[in-house]
Protein backbone atom coordinates (compact mmCIF):
# COMPACT_ATOMS: atom_id res chain seq x y z
CA UNK A 1 0.00 0.00 0.00
CA UNK A 2 2.86 2.30 0.90
CA UNK A 3 4.50 1.53 -2.45
CA UNK A 4 1.29 2.35 -4.33
CA UNK A 5 0.98 5.63 -2.45
CA UNK A 6 4.62 6.43 -3.19
CA UNK A 7 4.18 5.69 -6.91
CA UNK A 8 0.98 7.73 -6.98
CA UNK A 9 2.75 10.67 -5.36
CA UNK A 10 5.65 10.41 -7.79
CA UNK A 11 3.30 10.14 -10.75
CA UNK A 12 1.37 13.20 -9.56
CA UNK A 13 4.59 15.12 -9.09
CA UNK A 14 5.76 14.13 -12.55
CA UNK A 15 2.41 15.08 -14.08
CA UNK A 16 2.48 18.45 -12.35
CA UNK A 17 6.03 19.09 -13.47
CA UNK A 18 5.16 18.27 -17.07
CA UNK A 19 1.93 20.23 -17.01
CA UNK A 20 3.54 23.41 -15.70
CA UNK A 21 5.43 25.52 -18.21
CA UNK A 22 9.12 24.76 -17.98
CA UNK A 23 10.24 27.72 -20.06
CA UNK A 24 11.96 29.53 -17.26
CA UNK A 25 11.99 27.71 -14.04
CA UNK A 26 13.97 24.57 -13.54
CA UNK A 27 14.28 23.49 -9.92
CA UNK A 28 13.47 26.96 -8.59
CA UNK A 29 15.69 28.93 -10.92
CA UNK A 30 14.58 31.98 -12.87
CA UNK A 31 16.55 32.20 -16.09
CA UNK A 32 17.04 35.63 -17.62
CA UNK A 33 18.95 36.05 -20.85
CA UNK A 34 20.94 39.22 -21.38
CA UNK A 35 22.09 39.32 -25.00
CA UNK A 36 24.12 42.52 -25.15
CA UNK A 37 26.55 44.31 -27.44
CA UNK A 38 29.51 43.76 -25.09
CA UNK A 39 31.97 44.19 -27.97
CA UNK A 40 31.79 45.63 -31.45
CA UNK A 41 30.60 49.02 -32.62
CA UNK A 42 27.81 49.28 -30.02
CA UNK A 43 29.93 48.19 -27.10
CA UNK A 44 29.18 51.41 -25.18
CA UNK A 45 25.50 50.44 -25.13
CA UNK A 46 26.11 46.83 -24.14
CA UNK A 47 28.62 47.63 -21.42
CA UNK A 48 26.24 50.16 -19.86
CA UNK A 49 23.45 47.56 -20.07
CA UNK A 50 25.58 45.03 -18.21
CA UNK A 51 26.59 47.51 -15.52
CA UNK A 52 22.95 48.38 -14.86
CA UNK A 53 21.78 44.76 -14.80
CA UNK A 54 24.65 43.61 -12.56
CA UNK A 55 24.01 46.41 -10.08
CA UNK A 56 20.28 45.68 -10.03
CA UNK A 57 20.86 41.98 -9.38
CA UNK A 58 23.21 42.66 -6.50
CA UNK A 59 20.80 45.19 -5.01
CA UNK A 60 17.81 42.89 -5.38
CA UNK A 61 19.69 39.93 -3.94
CA UNK A 62 19.75 37.33 -6.76
CA UNK A 63 16.46 35.75 -5.64
CA UNK A 64 12.88 36.52 -6.59
CA UNK A 65 9.68 34.76 -5.53
CA UNK A 66 11.82 32.35 -3.53
CA UNK A 67 13.76 31.27 -6.60
CA UNK A 68 17.38 31.79 -7.51
CA UNK A 69 17.79 34.33 -10.32
CA UNK A 70 20.35 33.43 -12.95
CA UNK A 71 21.28 35.95 -15.61
CA UNK A 72 23.17 34.66 -18.60
CA UNK A 73 25.05 37.43 -20.41
CA UNK A 74 25.77 36.72 -24.06
CA UNK A 75 28.12 38.93 -26.06
CA UNK A 76 26.40 39.34 -29.40
CA UNK A 77 29.34 41.41 -30.69
CA UNK A 78 27.14 44.02 -32.41
CA UNK A 79 26.85 41.88 -35.52
CA UNK A 80 23.96 40.08 -37.14
CA UNK A 81 25.27 36.53 -37.18
CA UNK A 82 26.32 36.46 -33.54
CA UNK A 83 23.08 38.12 -32.50
CA UNK A 84 20.98 35.45 -34.21
CA UNK A 85 23.06 32.55 -32.88
CA UNK A 86 23.29 34.05 -29.37
CA UNK A 87 19.58 34.62 -29.03
CA UNK A 88 18.70 31.28 -30.61
CA UNK A 89 20.85 29.62 -27.97
CA UNK A 90 19.21 31.58 -25.15
CA UNK A 91 15.72 30.85 -26.39
CA UNK A 92 16.08 27.27 -27.66
CA UNK A 93 18.83 25.75 -25.52
CA UNK A 94 18.79 27.73 -22.29
CA UNK A 95 15.02 28.09 -22.45
CA UNK A 96 15.04 31.52 -20.84
CA UNK A 97 11.68 32.98 -19.96
CA UNK A 98 12.92 36.58 -19.89
CA UNK A 99 15.33 38.65 -21.93
CA UNK A 100 16.85 42.08 -21.33
CA UNK A 101 18.62 43.56 -24.36
CA UNK A 102 20.01 44.06 -26.92
CA UNK A 103 19.95 47.85 -27.14
CA UNK A 104 20.93 49.27 -30.56
CA UNK A 105 18.09 49.56 -33.08
CA UNK A 106 19.72 47.52 -35.82
CA UNK A 107 20.73 44.79 -33.40
CA UNK A 108 17.18 44.58 -32.03
CA UNK A 109 15.90 44.06 -35.57
CA UNK A 110 18.38 41.18 -36.03
CA UNK A 111 17.30 39.75 -32.68
CA UNK A 112 13.60 39.71 -33.53
CA UNK A 113 13.35 36.53 -35.68
CA UNK A 114 15.14 34.25 -33.18
CA UNK A 115 13.16 35.81 -30.32
CA UNK A 116 9.94 34.85 -32.12
CA UNK A 117 10.77 31.16 -31.82
CA UNK A 118 9.49 31.05 -28.22
CA UNK A 119 8.82 34.67 -27.37
CA UNK A 120 10.13 35.01 -23.82
CA UNK A 121 9.18 38.25 -22.05
CA UNK A 122 11.48 40.75 -23.76
CA UNK A 123 12.55 44.06 -22.25
CA UNK A 124 14.38 46.15 -24.83
CA UNK A 125 16.25 48.91 -23.02
CA UNK A 126 16.96 50.92 -26.13
CA UNK A 127 16.11 50.92 -29.82
CA UNK A 128 14.56 54.20 -30.84
CA UNK A 129 13.90 53.05 -34.42
CA UNK A 130 10.20 52.90 -35.17
CA UNK A 131 10.90 50.08 -37.64
CA UNK A 132 11.15 47.97 -34.49
CA UNK A 133 7.98 49.51 -33.08
CA UNK A 134 6.12 48.46 -36.24
CA UNK A 135 7.55 44.97 -35.91
CA UNK A 136 7.26 44.44 -32.16
CA UNK A 137 4.99 47.08 -30.65
CA UNK A 138 1.87 44.91 -30.67
CA UNK A 139 3.57 41.85 -29.20
CA UNK A 140 2.10 41.16 -25.75
CA UNK A 141 5.44 40.02 -24.34
CA UNK A 142 7.45 42.98 -25.66
CA UNK A 143 8.24 45.79 -23.21
CA UNK A 144 9.94 49.01 -24.29
CA UNK A 145 11.17 51.30 -21.48
CA UNK A 146 12.83 53.76 -23.87
CA UNK A 147 11.64 56.57 -26.18
CA UNK A 148 10.99 56.01 -29.89
CA UNK A 149 12.59 58.25 -32.50
CA UNK A 150 9.52 60.50 -32.74
CA UNK A 151 9.91 61.25 -29.02
CA UNK A 152 13.46 62.45 -29.74
CA UNK A 153 12.39 64.67 -32.61
CA UNK A 154 9.42 66.15 -30.81
CA UNK A 155 11.67 67.30 -27.98
CA UNK A 156 14.48 68.48 -30.29
CA UNK A 157 12.09 70.43 -32.52
CA UNK A 158 10.35 71.95 -29.51
CA UNK A 159 13.68 72.95 -27.92
CA UNK A 160 14.98 74.53 -31.13
CA UNK A 161 11.70 76.31 -31.81
CA UNK A 162 11.65 77.60 -28.24
CA UNK A 163 15.17 79.00 -28.61
CA UNK A 164 15.20 80.12 -32.24
CA UNK A 165 11.60 80.52 -33.31
CA UNK A 166 10.14 78.89 -36.40
CA UNK A 167 11.25 79.30 -40.01
CA UNK A 168 14.84 78.11 -39.62
CA UNK A 169 16.45 75.94 -42.30
CA UNK A 170 17.44 72.37 -41.46
CA UNK A 171 19.86 70.09 -43.34
CA UNK A 172 19.56 66.42 -42.46
CA UNK A 173 22.41 63.93 -42.79
CA UNK A 174 21.17 60.39 -42.22
CA UNK A 175 22.83 56.98 -42.34
CA UNK A 176 21.66 54.24 -44.65
CA UNK A 177 21.07 51.66 -41.91
CA UNK A 178 17.91 50.89 -39.96
CA UNK A 179 18.61 53.80 -37.64
CA UNK A 180 18.95 56.72 -40.03
CA UNK A 181 16.28 55.58 -42.46
CA UNK A 182 13.76 55.01 -39.66
CA UNK A 183 14.47 58.40 -38.09
CA UNK A 184 14.26 60.40 -41.31
CA UNK A 185 10.49 60.43 -41.99
CA UNK A 186 9.65 61.33 -38.39
CA UNK A 187 12.31 64.04 -38.26
CA UNK A 188 10.99 65.58 -41.49
CA UNK A 189 7.38 65.37 -40.37
CA UNK A 190 7.93 66.75 -36.86
CA UNK A 191 10.39 69.51 -37.77
CA UNK A 192 8.14 70.48 -40.68
CA UNK A 193 5.12 70.62 -38.39
CA UNK A 194 7.03 72.88 -35.99
CA UNK A 195 7.69 75.35 -38.81
CA UNK A 196 11.23 74.41 -39.86
CA UNK A 197 12.17 74.13 -43.54
CA UNK A 198 14.08 71.04 -44.60
CA UNK A 199 16.59 72.24 -47.20
CA UNK A 200 18.67 69.07 -47.60
CA UNK A 201 18.38 65.34 -46.93
CA UNK A 202 21.74 63.69 -47.48
CA UNK A 203 22.38 59.99 -47.17
CA UNK A 204 25.71 58.75 -45.80
CA UNK A 205 27.01 55.22 -45.54
CA UNK A 206 27.25 53.60 -42.11
CA UNK A 207 30.92 53.13 -41.25
CA UNK A 208 32.18 55.39 -44.06
CA UNK A 209 35.62 56.98 -43.64
CA UNK A 210 34.83 60.29 -45.32
CA UNK A 211 31.87 62.66 -45.16
CA UNK A 212 33.51 65.53 -47.03
CA UNK A 213 31.25 65.40 -50.15
CA UNK A 214 28.11 65.25 -47.98
CA UNK A 215 29.35 68.18 -45.91
CA UNK A 216 30.10 70.11 -49.08
CA UNK A 217 26.43 69.76 -49.99
CA UNK A 218 25.47 70.94 -46.50
CA UNK A 219 27.68 73.99 -46.94
CA UNK A 220 25.98 74.78 -50.25
CA UNK A 221 22.53 74.49 -48.66
CA UNK A 222 23.46 77.10 -45.99
CA UNK A 223 21.23 75.71 -43.24
CA UNK A 224 20.78 77.14 -39.76
CA UNK A 225 20.67 73.67 -38.27
CA UNK A 226 22.48 70.43 -39.14
CA UNK A 227 20.63 67.36 -37.90
CA UNK A 228 22.74 64.18 -37.89
CA UNK A 229 20.63 61.02 -37.82
CA UNK A 230 23.45 58.54 -37.36
CA UNK A 231 24.72 56.28 -34.59
CA UNK A 232 27.67 56.71 -32.26
CA UNK A 233 30.67 55.72 -34.40
CA UNK A 234 29.36 57.68 -37.38
CA UNK A 235 28.40 60.51 -35.04
CA UNK A 236 32.04 60.78 -33.93
CA UNK A 237 33.26 61.02 -37.50
CA UNK A 238 30.51 63.50 -38.38
CA UNK A 239 31.44 65.83 -35.50
CA UNK A 240 35.15 65.62 -36.29
CA UNK A 241 34.70 66.30 -39.99
CA UNK A 242 32.24 69.14 -39.36
CA UNK A 243 34.95 70.78 -37.27
CA UNK A 244 37.84 69.85 -39.57
CA UNK A 245 35.98 71.20 -42.63
CA UNK A 246 35.10 74.39 -40.75
CA UNK A 247 31.43 73.95 -41.58
CA UNK A 248 29.84 77.15 -40.39
CA UNK A 249 26.41 75.85 -39.40
CA UNK A 250 25.21 77.66 -36.27
CA UNK A 251 23.40 74.76 -34.62
CA UNK A 252 24.61 71.17 -34.68
CA UNK A 253 22.08 68.60 -33.56
CA UNK A 254 22.45 64.87 -33.00
CA UNK A 255 20.20 62.24 -31.53
CA UNK A 256 21.38 60.45 -28.43
CA UNK A 257 25.03 59.85 -29.30
CA UNK A 258 26.24 63.26 -28.16
CA UNK A 259 25.08 62.35 -24.65
CA UNK A 260 27.42 59.35 -24.53
CA UNK A 261 30.69 59.61 -22.66
CA UNK A 262 32.35 57.61 -25.44
CA UNK A 263 31.29 60.16 -28.08
CA UNK A 264 32.30 63.08 -25.89
CA UNK A 265 35.77 61.66 -25.23
CA UNK A 266 36.38 60.72 -28.87
CA UNK A 267 35.24 64.05 -30.30
CA UNK A 268 36.92 66.28 -27.71
CA UNK A 269 36.64 69.93 -28.71
CA UNK A 270 34.79 68.95 -31.90
CA UNK A 271 31.87 67.90 -29.71
CA UNK A 272 31.34 71.37 -28.29
CA UNK A 273 28.05 72.95 -29.32
CA UNK A 274 26.33 69.70 -30.30
CA UNK A 275 22.75 69.35 -29.13
CA UNK A 276 21.50 65.94 -28.11
CA UNK A 277 18.66 64.15 -26.38
CA UNK A 278 19.01 61.93 -23.36
CA UNK A 279 16.73 60.24 -20.90
CA UNK A 280 18.91 60.85 -17.86
CA UNK A 281 21.63 63.20 -16.76
CA UNK A 282 23.56 62.84 -13.50
CA UNK A 283 22.70 65.59 -11.09
CA UNK A 284 18.95 65.66 -11.71
CA UNK A 285 17.49 65.62 -8.22
CA UNK A 286 14.79 62.97 -8.07
CA UNK A 287 13.52 61.45 -4.80
CA UNK A 288 13.55 57.83 -3.71
CA UNK A 289 10.56 55.54 -4.11
CA UNK A 290 8.70 55.91 -0.80
CA UNK A 291 7.99 52.17 -0.50
CA UNK A 292 11.10 50.62 -2.04
CA UNK A 293 13.79 53.12 -1.12
CA UNK A 294 16.50 50.44 -1.01
CA UNK A 295 15.75 49.16 -4.50
CA UNK A 296 14.83 52.51 -6.01
CA UNK A 297 16.76 55.15 -4.05
CA UNK A 298 17.02 58.84 -4.81
CA UNK A 299 19.03 59.79 -7.88
CA UNK A 300 21.78 61.23 -5.67
CA UNK A 301 22.07 58.02 -3.62
CA UNK A 302 21.94 55.79 -6.70
CA UNK A 303 24.59 57.86 -8.48
CA UNK A 304 26.83 57.74 -5.39
CA UNK A 305 26.47 53.95 -5.24
CA UNK A 306 27.15 53.68 -8.95
CA UNK A 307 30.29 55.83 -8.72
CA UNK A 308 31.55 53.81 -5.76
CA UNK A 309 30.96 50.55 -7.59
CA UNK A 310 32.24 51.47 -11.06
CA UNK A 311 34.46 54.49 -10.41
CA UNK A 312 32.85 56.43 -13.26
CA UNK A 313 29.89 58.65 -14.07
CA UNK A 314 26.67 56.88 -15.04
CA UNK A 315 25.36 57.32 -18.57
CA UNK A 316 21.70 57.22 -19.47
CA UNK A 317 21.71 53.49 -20.24
CA UNK A 318 23.17 52.60 -16.83
CA UNK A 319 20.17 53.74 -14.74
CA UNK A 320 17.72 52.59 -17.42
CA UNK A 321 19.00 49.03 -17.33
CA UNK A 322 19.13 49.14 -13.55
CA UNK A 323 15.53 50.31 -13.24
CA UNK A 324 14.23 47.98 -15.97
CA UNK A 325 15.88 44.97 -14.29
CA UNK A 326 14.53 45.96 -10.87
CA UNK A 327 11.09 46.26 -12.49
CA UNK A 328 11.33 42.76 -13.94
CA UNK A 329 12.47 41.27 -10.63
CA UNK A 330 9.65 43.05 -8.78
CA UNK A 331 7.17 41.64 -11.30
CA UNK A 332 8.53 38.11 -10.79
CA UNK A 333 8.30 38.60 -7.03
CA UNK A 334 4.71 39.81 -7.28
CA UNK A 335 3.73 37.05 -9.72
CA UNK A 336 5.13 34.54 -7.25
CA UNK A 337 6.33 32.46 -10.16
CA UNK A 338 8.52 32.51 -13.23
CA UNK A 339 5.63 31.94 -15.59
CA UNK A 340 6.19 34.49 -18.39
CA UNK A 341 2.51 35.31 -18.84
CA UNK A 342 1.99 35.91 -15.12
CA UNK A 343 5.14 38.04 -14.95
CA UNK A 344 4.09 40.00 -18.05
CA UNK A 345 0.74 40.69 -16.35
CA UNK A 346 2.57 42.00 -13.26
CA UNK A 347 4.86 44.16 -15.42
CA UNK A 348 1.73 45.69 -16.96
CA UNK A 349 0.44 46.56 -13.48
CA UNK A 350 3.75 48.04 -12.32
CA UNK A 351 3.48 51.73 -11.44
CA UNK A 352 6.40 52.94 -9.35
CA UNK A 353 8.14 56.30 -9.10
CA UNK A 354 11.87 55.88 -9.68
CA UNK A 355 14.90 58.15 -9.91
CA UNK A 356 14.71 57.56 -13.67
CA UNK A 357 11.07 58.63 -13.96
CA UNK A 358 7.74 56.88 -13.57
CA UNK A 359 8.06 53.14 -14.25
CA UNK A 360 4.68 52.42 -15.74
CA UNK A 361 4.18 50.48 -18.96
CA UNK A 362 1.27 51.96 -20.88
CA UNK A 363 -0.35 51.35 -24.26
CA UNK A 364 1.10 54.23 -26.27
CA UNK A 365 -0.70 53.65 -29.53
CA UNK A 366 2.06 51.92 -31.44
CA UNK A 367 3.38 49.95 -28.47
CA UNK A 368 1.42 47.84 -26.01
CA UNK A 369 3.96 48.29 -23.23
CA UNK A 370 5.79 51.60 -23.37
CA UNK A 371 7.51 53.40 -20.48
CA UNK A 372 9.95 56.28 -19.97
CA UNK A 373 9.11 58.22 -23.14
CA UNK A 374 10.21 61.60 -21.78
CA UNK A 375 13.51 62.99 -22.99
CA UNK A 376 15.53 66.03 -22.06
CA UNK A 377 17.56 68.09 -24.51
CA UNK A 378 21.16 68.92 -23.68
CA UNK A 379 23.93 70.87 -25.36
CA UNK A 380 27.66 70.36 -24.98
CA UNK A 381 28.97 73.69 -23.74
CA UNK A 382 32.66 74.13 -22.83
CA UNK A 383 33.10 70.41 -22.30
CA UNK A 384 30.01 69.92 -20.13
CA UNK A 385 26.44 68.80 -20.81
CA UNK A 386 23.91 71.53 -20.08
CA UNK A 387 20.16 70.88 -20.03
CA UNK A 388 18.44 73.36 -22.34
CA UNK A 389 14.95 71.85 -22.52
CA UNK A 390 12.34 71.37 -21.08
CA UNK A 391 12.25 74.74 -19.45
CA UNK A 392 11.40 73.47 -15.96
CA UNK A 393 14.71 71.61 -15.67
CA UNK A 394 16.84 73.80 -17.99
CA UNK A 395 20.30 74.74 -16.71
CA UNK A 396 21.16 77.07 -19.58
CA UNK A 397 20.19 78.30 -23.03
CA UNK A 398 20.98 77.12 -26.54
CA UNK A 399 24.08 78.80 -27.91
CA UNK A 400 25.37 78.94 -31.47
CA UNK A 401 28.42 76.81 -32.26
CA UNK A 402 29.37 79.21 -35.06
CA UNK A 403 28.75 82.73 -33.81
Partner 1 sequence: MGIYLQLLIDGILLGGLYTLVATGISLSYGVIRVINFAHGEFIMLGAYAAFWAVTLSGLDPLLMLPAIIVGGGLFGYALQRLFIQRILNAPHVNQILLTFGFSLILQNIAAILWTGDLRSAPSVVSYSVTELGPLMVPHSRLVAFTVAVVLVIGMLAWLKWSELGRATRAVAQNHRAALLMGINIHLIYAICFGISASLGAAAGSLMSFLVTISPWMGFPLVVKSFAVVALGGLGSVLGTIVGGFVLGLSETAVSFFIPGGSGWAEGVSFVFLIAILVFRPRGIFGLAVEEDAR
**Nearest to partner 1 of 242, 296 (CB atom):** 242
**Nearest to partner 1 of 212, 291 (CB atom):** 212
**Nearest to partner 1 of 47, 370 (CB atom):** 47
What is the smallest separation between the CB atom of 217 and partner 1, expressed in angstroms? 7
Cα(223)–Cα(401) distance, rounded to whole angstroms? 13
**What are the beta bridge partners of residue 64?**
67
**Nearest to partner 1 of 246, 291 (CB atom):** 246
**Nearest to partner 1 of 140, 268 (CB atom):** 268
Are 100 and 125 in contact by the 8 Å Cβ rule? The answer is yes
Residue 100 has phi, psi (to 5 degrees) of -120, 120
What is the smallest separation between the CB atom of 240 and partner 1, expressed in angstroms? 7
**Nearest to partner 1 of 220, 397 (CB atom):** 220
Q: What Rg do the C-alpha atoms of the chain give, in angstroms?
A: 23
Q: CB atoms < 10 A from the CB of 362, how many?
A: 14
Cα(93)–Cα(84) distance, rounded to whole angstroms? 13
Cα(196)–Cα(189) distance, rounded to whole angstroms? 10
What is the smallest separation between the CB atom of 215 and partner 1, expressed in angstroms? 9
Q: CB atoms < 10 A from the CB of 219, how many?
A: 15
What is the smallest separation between the CB atom of 56 and partner 1, expressed in angstroms? 22
The backbone region for 353, taken as left when phi is positive above 0, alpha when psi lies in -120 to 50, beta otherwise, is: beta
Cα(88)–Cα(179) distance, rounded to whole angstroms? 24
What is the smallest separation between the CB atom of 216 and partner 1, expressed in angstroms? 6
308 SS3 class: helix
**Nearest to partner 1 of 158, 266 (CB atom):** 266
Q: Tell me, what DSSP letter sits at residue 117?
A: T
**Nearest to partner 1 of 11, 244 (CB atom):** 244
Are 183 and 230 in contact by the 8 Å Cβ rule? The answer is no
Residues that bind partner 1 (CB under 8 A): 39-41, 43-44, 47, 176, 202-205, 207-214, 216-217, 220, 232-233, 236-237, 240, 243-246, 262-263, 265-270
Q: CB atoms < 10 A from the CB of 95, how many?
A: 16
Cα(84)–Cα(28) distance, rounded to whole angstroms? 28
Amino acid sequence: MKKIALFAALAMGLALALAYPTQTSAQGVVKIGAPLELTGKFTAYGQAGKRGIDMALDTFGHTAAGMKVEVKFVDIQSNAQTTVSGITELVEKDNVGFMIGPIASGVVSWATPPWRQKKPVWIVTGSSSTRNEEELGKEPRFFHPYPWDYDYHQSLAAALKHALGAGKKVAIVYSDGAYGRAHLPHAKQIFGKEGFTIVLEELVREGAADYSPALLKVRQARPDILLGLVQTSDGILLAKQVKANNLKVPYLVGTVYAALDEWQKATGEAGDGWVSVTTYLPGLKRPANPTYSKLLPSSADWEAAFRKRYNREPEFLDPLNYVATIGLLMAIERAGSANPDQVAAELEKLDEPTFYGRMHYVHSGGTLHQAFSEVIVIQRQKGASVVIYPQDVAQGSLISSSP
